Amino acid sequence: MSWVAFAFLSALGNASTSLAFKRAIKNSDALVSTAAFRVLSGLMLVAFVTVMGAWHYPTPGYWRLVAAVLPFEVGGLVCMSLALRSGDLSQVAPISGLLPVFVSIAGALFLHEMPTALSAVGTVLVAAGVYCVGLQRAKSAFEPLLALGRLPSARYAVVSAVLWSLATIVHKYGVAEVGPLMWATTVALGSGLVIAAALPFTRRVVPVMAQTAGSSGGIAAFSHVRLWTGLVIFAAFSFAVQQAALQLALQKAQAGYVIALSSTQTLLATALGLLLLGEPGGQARILGALLVTCGAALVALGG
């Protein structure tokens, strides 16, 4: 498979993860849900890497890269969890779609990956499309920027994008050190274990659903926990697919190209939020979808 196919698969996995995770944390603890799905996805990747025989000897350089990437990865993950907890999926996804812009800047600064003119235009279109998706009918043209000062979810999404853009730079070195599959496993399992280890200090507990008196309350609580478990498993599987595809794409192409193309997850996540979660939308999001699609195509051609 080409890096373009892997990038699109990563986008699909990312959007599916966001949808399942958004529903999982609707009535439960965000950090507990985050730790659960990340650890589970890491274990899925461990099984996959074992079957593929893709393990590598963990060199000292590998451990240094793990120490470097986990603060950015965990920080971005926690911020995204809080963003999804406090805002709509179709609201958070467009803002977090700024990731390719940040990655392109970071790639030029730290990896000396200069995009071609065609890819640069595509990245600009992706950013413009993300901005349009954030516009809302009958509101100011500066609504996406104004939202940063008004909505906690918007601020969390921006911080998450910045942190993950820095993590992406480290991913390039990690993939070169131990291969894409082992590195994907490291990121998923490592971040989950770090958050899980921090839970006792934050006084978080496994979510206990609100119960009412009588047997009907117990049945409702059991049904709720079962739904939460199913959503966490689905999110874990989707994330495992996303991580494996992302690292394979990063092995084949520049970070800016990969992240720009995989940013189509913004459209997928927004569409899922509108169609399946009943979140509000508008014509501006259709224009944004066209701009992001055209931009992604230019990035693919330029890459």
pLDDT, position 282: 59
pLDDT at 212 over 80: no
- Residue 94 is which amino acid? P
Look at the chain and count its residues. Answer: 303
- Residue 21 is which amino acid? F
The mean of the pLDDT values for the chain is 79
What percentage of the chain's residues is helix, strand, coil (to nearest 5)? Answer: 80, 0, 20
C-alpha dihedral sign at 124, 129, 134, 140: positive
Question: Tens digits of per-residue pLDDT, 127-143?
Answer: 777 777 666 554 666 66
pLDDT at 99 over 80: no
Per-residue confidence at 211, pLDDT binned at 50, 70, 90? very low
44 compared with 124, residue with greater pLDDT: 44
Ranges of H-type helices in 141-214: 143-150, 152-178, 180-202
CB atoms within 10 A of CB 229: 12
Rg of the Cα atoms in the chain? 19
pLDDT at 232 over 70: yes
In the numeric block, the tokens 């490291």 are attached to 186
Cα angle 100-130-30, degrees, rounded to a multiple of 5: 80
Question: Tens digits of per-residue pLDDT, 137-181?
Answer: 546 666 666 655 667 887 888 899 889 888 988 988 998 899 888
- Residue 114 is which amino acid? M
Per-residue confidence at 2, pLDDT binned at 50, 70, 90? confident
188 compared with 276, residue with greater pLDDT: 188
Q: How far apart are CA 192 and CA 40, in angstroms?
A: 8
**At a CB cut-off of 8 Å and minimum separation 6, what does 137 contact?**
282, 283, 284
Q: How confident is the model over 28-55, as a mean pLDDT?
A: 89
pLDDT at 39 over 90: yes
Question: What is the value of pTM for the model shown?
Answer: 0.77
Q: How confident is the model over 247-276, as a mean pLDDT?
A: 76
Q: Is the distance from CB of 133 to CB of 39 less than 8 angstroms? A: no
